[in-house]
Amino acid sequence: MSAVIDGNGANALAPRIVGVSLAERSYEIVIGPGILDEAGRRIAEVLPGARMAVIADETVAGLHLDRLALSLTAAGIGFETMILPAGETTKSYDNLITVVERIIGGRFERGDAVLALGGGVIGDLAGFASAIVKRGMAFVQMPTSLLAQVDSSVGGKTGINSPQGKNLVGAFHQPSLVLADTALLDTLSPREFAAGYAEVVKYGLIDRPEFFAWLEDNREAIFAGGEARIAAIATACEAKAAVVAEDETEQGARALLNLGHTFGHALERTARYDASRLVHGEGVAIGICLAHRFSETLGLAPKGDAARVEAHFAAAGLPTRIGQIPGETPKLGELMDAIGQDKKVTRGTLTFILTRGIGRAFVERKVDPDKVAEFLTRELNP
Amino acid sequence: MSAVIDGNGANALAPRIVGVSLAERSYEIVIGPGILDEAGRRIAEVLPGARMAVIADETVAGLHLDRLALSLTAAGIGFETMILPAGETTKSYDNLITVVERIIGGRFERGDAVLALGGGVIGDLAGFASAIVKRGMAFVQMPTSLLAQVDSSVGGKTGINSPQGKNLVGAFHQPSLVLADTALLDTLSPREFAAGYAEVVKYGLIDRPEFFAWLEDNREAIFAGGEARIAAIATACEAKAAVVAEDETEQGARALLNLGHTFGHALERTARYDASRLVHGEGVAIGICLAHRFSETLGLAPKGDAARVEAHFAAAGLPTRIGQIPGETPKLGELMDAIGQDKKVTRGTLTFILTRGIGRAFVERKVDPDKVAEFLTRELNP
Ligand SMILES: NC(=O)c1ccc[n+]([C@@H]2O[C@H](COP(=O)([O-])OP(=O)(O)OC[C@H]3O[C@@H](n4cnc5c(N)ncnc54)[C@H](O)[C@@H]3O)[C@@H](O)[C@H]2O)c1
Ligand SMILES: NC(=O)c1ccc[n+]([C@@H]2O[C@H](COP(=O)([O-])OP(=O)(O)OC[C@H]3O[C@@H](n4cnc5c(N)ncnc54)[C@H](O)[C@@H]3O)[C@@H](O)[C@H]2O)c1
Ligand SMILES: [Zn+2]
Ligand SMILES: [Zn+2]
């Protein structure tokens, strides 16, 4: 933690490099402002001679694609660009097929790479395409949203949505390199920045209480940009990389990363995935608060921790209670159904990530659905 | 080889088991007549508690699905069946999505399995679906064609065709178990049996000259069924398993398995993938003969080996010359184009699997396209 807390005065804005250790699939995450202009050089080092199929959404392409193109050209890297609409509905079978056919038509080979420039939507879709063209091409992630920089670009989960549910179709396919330009976040909307920030806080709450305390002291600096932002993103990536190295294909330990997500996904579902009402990170913020309050109710966590978490999210401009979601409040039955859909109900019990207090989350496989319903009844009628 | 050549008098039709060694992805191939009736028990041992999404084509389902269903039921295994049209065009995006959505709709979990009952088409499609539903479910192969038993069901290559070419979209996804009932081949058409046999012979020609000699002595017994058939399939699986264990994701050594395939694929392409003119194994048979004759022409292989290979294929009812393909003979230019499409042309040279004689194949990365054209000119105008 010392590097994060102390900063590094002499070389304040030098990029931070976080390694993801996965034997022959290991790779580096490079984090810092201005990385976009070094992209060509850094990619050529890791994938010499590879051509790039660059995928971006319209918003990000309009803002940042020209600079990427310049950097690739300067490094002598050949590329083609494919631009898709922005938004969650882009993660569809149709767009996947379009991208795959464009890559094949561009005569890209297995040693060439798909380069995702964008948020989690583009990263997930482009990564999945790279996993299945010719049974696997190289893949480079250039995450441009805070959520993508601290979560979706790290760990190799790729995929699209099925009409039957989110992220149900995909592959584990690790990138060869992740380039996170922290200055690109300056064009992100404050709402999307805050949503991504919920995932940053999550890592502190799972098992890094000192990181959570540091976030409490540095939140404004992180939102402002600069050294604190780089440090926060690097620590989040380190936290995720550690879990991924232990459990690449989500057999066990990786489950802790779902802190707040069972409640959060249920809220996203009952809000009909309407981003004007609730984006993912907002659902996670409320979900994390619910997980802490539920743990307190069950007598697992000390009184006061839930309130501290709630205060931090609120200060960051995030919602913390179900009642804050615009539109109709979900009914208890709807919410319980949505929870049952997200998690397999094993012999009448539910699996939740609960906590013994800040930085002490754990997996509980035997949660009594009646206890959840009782708790949510109070949350829905405060 | 002794087990193959000697047979095993005491227990003549006991199943043979071939292991595929891939660390935690290792699995067994069980080969013998009547395995279909033991499928439930054998699957329950490897995947206790798993439900099965059974995929078959109409032809195979009509002949053999009832017995599989009985066996699964007897072992207490829950399952759903999905039946697709027979034929290469089934390996399409549309069928992939249909199968994936049916699996998701059936509420199969990651620990459940997709079970492919059929030839290489069903195995490739179902295997790919199992690789991408929830980023990877378990997978069981029950190959029912000779080609599938000795080639496509072993090694984890799965996929579908793109409108731009065959097998361009897919994943490496190893099965948990392969069950090859050699008696099911009795319902296979003689033409399809012979086509699969070309791939059996291929393993002898790559690096097992004693196996090729044994095949020369046992061809009729293999076509008839019984012990020789089991032995031939087991040896072919051993040969493929050895290559796969060395090179799981086709970075190098696996290339030798393409003996005869550069010419073969080019012939399939110029025959417009019309199965009434040429099926894959027939293209491979001609391709292997061309590779041997070309190697002889180049002075690499001793005179006479090509003729011996040709005689063996001819006795098995397989074509050995381009002129035997019904319909219009391809033009040289067409054939050379098709060869260039199959293999990346690296700085003006082509990669071919050539041979120094029977059982002595090797990868040659610097084949002069002019030499190939010269050779093919003679082959096209005998
Ligand atoms: N693969 C994983 O492990 C993983 C983990 C978490 C989330 N996800 C997925 O990630 C997706 C959510 O990611 P997201 O929040 O980045 O969504 P997103 O990609 O839709 O980006 C959010 C919005 O911000 C815009 N944007 C992105 N970068 C910008 C920039 N620098 N400037 C201006 N606008 C910018 C986008 O155009 C979009 O409108 C979901 O589909 C989710 O399932 C995946
Ligand atoms: N994954 C790999 O490593 C790999 C390797 C080689 C080939 N392949 C693929 O395999 C496919 C070819 O395999 P195939 O030749 O088995 O094709 P196939 O699956 O189409 O089967 C050939 C025909 O035989 C029928 N059939 C299968 N078993 C039968 C039985 N027991 N009784 C009666 N009829 C039966 C089928 O219905 C079909 O009409 C191609 O798509 C090829 O790309 C994959
Ligand atoms: Zn999340
Ligand atoms: Zn073949």
Distances (CA, A) of B185 to A230, B154, B364: 63, 17, 36
Mean model confidence pLDDT for chain B: 93
Mean pLDDT of A301-322: 98
Residue B87, by phi and psi: left (phi above 0), alpha (psi -120 to 50) or beta? left
What's the pLDDT at B346? 55
Between these two residues, A62 and B341, which has the higher pLDDT value? A62
* CB neighbour burial string for B234-261, b if at least 16 within 10 angstroms, e if fewer: bbbbbbbbbbbbeebebeeebbbbbbbb
Containing structural domain, residue B255? 190-380
The percent of residues in chain B predicted with pLDDT above 70, rounded, is 95
Cβ(B46)–Cβ(B176) under 8 Å? Answer: yes
Q: Residue type at B9?
A: G
Nearest CA to A171 among A142, A199, A203, A139?
A139
Cβ(B145)–Cβ(B192) under 8 Å? Answer: yes
DSSP letter string, B153-166: TSS-EEEEEETTEE
B293 vs B289: CA distance, rounded Å: 6
- Ligand in nearest proximity to the CA of B283: 4
Check pLDDT > 50 for residue A218: yes
Examine the domain organization and report whether A347 and A371 are in the same domain. yes
Query: Which helix (H) or strand (E) element contains residue B172?
Result: strand B165-172
Of B93, B105, B135, the CB nearest to A172: B135
Mean pLDDT of B308-320: 98
Sign of CA dihedral A82, A86, A88, A93: negative
Count of C-beta atoms within a 10 Å radius of residue B187 = 12
What's the pLDDT at A95? 98
For the entire predicted model, the pTM comes to: 0.94
Cross-strand bridge partners of residue B178: B29, B141
What's the pLDDT at A341? 73
- Ligand in nearest proximity to the CA of A285: 3
Backbone phi, psi, residue B255, to 5°: -55, -35
Examine the domain organization and report whether B285 and B354 are in the same domain. yes
Distances (CA, A) of B213 to A86, A172, B232, B293: 62, 44, 12, 19
Q: Which residues of B touch A101 (CB under 8 A)?
A: 162-164
Question: Mind listing the pLDDT tens digit for each residue in B209-237?
Answer: 999 999 999 999 999 998 999 999 999 99
**∠ Cα B103 B108 B112 (to 5°):** 115
A151 vs A162: CA distance, rounded Å: 21
A173 is catalytic: no
Catalytic residue among B250, B308, B360, B371: B250
Contacts of residue B107, defined as CB under 8 A and 6 or more positions apart, other chains included, come to none
Q: How many domains does chain A have?
A: 2
Between the CA of A23 and the centroid of ligand 3 the distance, in Å, is 26
Examine the domain organization and report whether A60 and A167 are in the same domain. yes
Pairing verdict, β A138-143 and A177-181: parallel
Supply the residue whose CA is at minimum distance from atom 4 of ligand 1: A152
Q: Which residue has the tokens 């207090």?
A: A357
3-state SS assignment for residue B198: helix
Based on C-alpha coordinates, what's the Rg of chain A?
20
Q: What is the CATH number of the domain that holds A166?
A: 3.40.50.1970
Classify residue B322 by its DSSP letter.
G
Mean pLDDT of A116-130: 98
Examine the domain organization and report whether B95 and B168 are in the same domain. yes
Contacts of residue A269, defined as CB under 8 A and 6 or more positions apart, other chains included, come to A338, A341, A342
The shortest C-alpha distance from B192 to chain A (Å) reads 27
Sign of CA dihedral A78, A83, A84, A88: positive
Question: Mind listing the pLDDT tens digit for each residue in B56-112?
Answer: 999 999 999 999 999 999 999 999 999 999 999 999 999 999 999 999 999 998 889
Pairing verdict, β B27-32 and B52-57: unpaired
Q: Residue type at B2?
A: S
Examine the domain organization and report whether A170 and A253 are in the same domain. no
A76 vs A70: CA distance, rounded Å: 10
B268 vs B194: CA distance, rounded Å: 17
Count of C-beta atoms within a 10 Å radius of residue B327 = 12
Examine the domain organization and report whether B227 and B351 are in the same domain. yes
Based on C-alpha coordinates, what's the Rg of chain B?
20
Examine the domain organization and report whether B226 and B373 are in the same domain. yes
Supply the residue whose CA is at minimum distance from atom 11 of ligand 1: A120
What's the pLDDT at A2? 37
Structure tokens of B317? 């009812």
Check pLDDT > 70 for residue B115: yes
Examine the domain organization and report whether A328 and A216 are in the same domain. yes
Asked which of A43-57, A90-104, B74-88, B330-344 is least confident by mean pLDDT, the reply is B330-344
Q: Residue type at A121?
A: V
Angle subtended by helix axes A190-207 and A280-297, to nearest 10: 30
Backbone phi, psi, residue B139, to 5°: -145, 135
Distances (CA, A) of A256 to A158, A247, A299, A362, B164: 19, 11, 20, 7, 42
Examine the domain organization and report whether A97 and A228 are in the same domain. no
pLDDT class of A9 with cuts at 50, 70, 90: very low
Q: Is A63 in the pocket of ligand 1 (CB under 6 A)?
A: yes
Distances (CA, A) of B208 to A156, B31, B157, B303: 40, 20, 23, 19
Domain boundary among A187, A206, A238: A187
Mean pLDDT of B327-355: 84
Question: Mind listing the pLDDT tens digit for each residue in B345-364?
Answer: 555 788 899 999 999 999 99
Mean pLDDT of A286-311: 98
What's the pLDDT at B368? 93
Cβ(B185)–Cβ(B145) under 8 Å? Answer: yes
Ligand 1, from A121, A173, A237: best to mutate by most atoms within 8 Å of Cβ?
A121
Domain boundary among A154, A187, A220: A187
Rounded (to 5) percent helix, strand, coil in chain B: 55, 20, 30
For A106, nearest residue in chain B (alpha carbons): B164
Count of C-beta atoms within a 10 Å radius of residue B364 = 16
Q: Which residues of A touch B164 (CB under 8 A)?
A: 101, 104-105
What count of CB pairs under 8 Å joins A to B? 69
Nearest CA to A105 among A80, A85, A87?
A80
Examine the domain organization and report whether A175 and A74 are in the same domain. yes
Domain boundary among A141, A161, A187: A187
Question: Mind listing the pLDDT tens digit for each residue in B29-39?
Answer: 999 999 999 99
3-state SS assignment for residue B114: strand
Between the CA of A262 and the centroid of ligand 3 the distance, in Å, is 10
Check pLDDT > 90 for residue B47: yes
Tell me the longest C-alpha to C-alpha distance in chain B.
Answer: 62
The half-sphere exposure of B148 on its side-chain side, counting CA atoms within 13 A, is: 27
Between these two residues, B338 and B9, which has the higher pLDDT value? B338
Catalytic residue among B95, B161, B218, B258: B258
B376 vs B382: CA distance, rounded Å: 10
Q: What is the CATH number of the domain that holds B262?
A: 1.20.1090.10
Q: Could you tell me how many residues make up chain A?
A: 382
What's the pLDDT at B2? 37
Q: Which residues of A touch B165 (CB under 8 A)?
A: 104
Mean pLDDT of A168-182: 98
Examine the domain organization and report whether B66 and B207 are in the same domain. no
The shortest C-alpha distance from A367 to chain B (Å) reads 20
B240 is catalytic: yes
* CB neighbour burial string for B57-87, b if at least 16 within 10 angstroms, e if fewer: bebbbeebbeebbebbeeeebebebbbbebe
pLDDT class of A70 with cuts at 50, 70, 90: very high
What's the pLDDT at B253? 80
Check pLDDT > 50 for residue B259: yes
B41 vs B50: CA distance, rounded Å: 12
CB contact under 8 A, A109 and B169: no
What's the pLDDT at B9? 42
Cβ(B358)–Cβ(B308) under 8 Å? Answer: yes
Sign of CA dihedral B12, B13, B15, B17: positive
B79 vs B64: CA distance, rounded Å: 16
Examine the domain organization and report whether B158 and B286 are in the same domain. no
Between these two residues, A365 and B196, which has the higher pLDDT value? B196
B326 vs A119: CA distance, rounded Å: 54
Cross-strand bridge partners of residue B28: B19, B177
3-state SS assignment for residue A326: coil
Cβ(A84)–Cβ(A125) under 8 Å? Answer: yes
Q: Residue type at B130?
A: S
Catalytic residue among A95, A161, A218, A258: A258
Cβ(A358)–Cβ(A308) under 8 Å? Answer: yes
Distances (CA, A) of B19 to A84, A131, A137, B31, B292: 45, 27, 29, 11, 31
Structure tokens of A370? 């009646």
Between the CA of B272 and the centroid of ligand 2 the distance, in Å, is 18
- Ligand in nearest proximity to the CA of A155: 1
What's the pLDDT at B189? 97
Mean pLDDT of A146-168: 96
The percent of residues in chain A predicted with pLDDT above 70, rounded, is 95
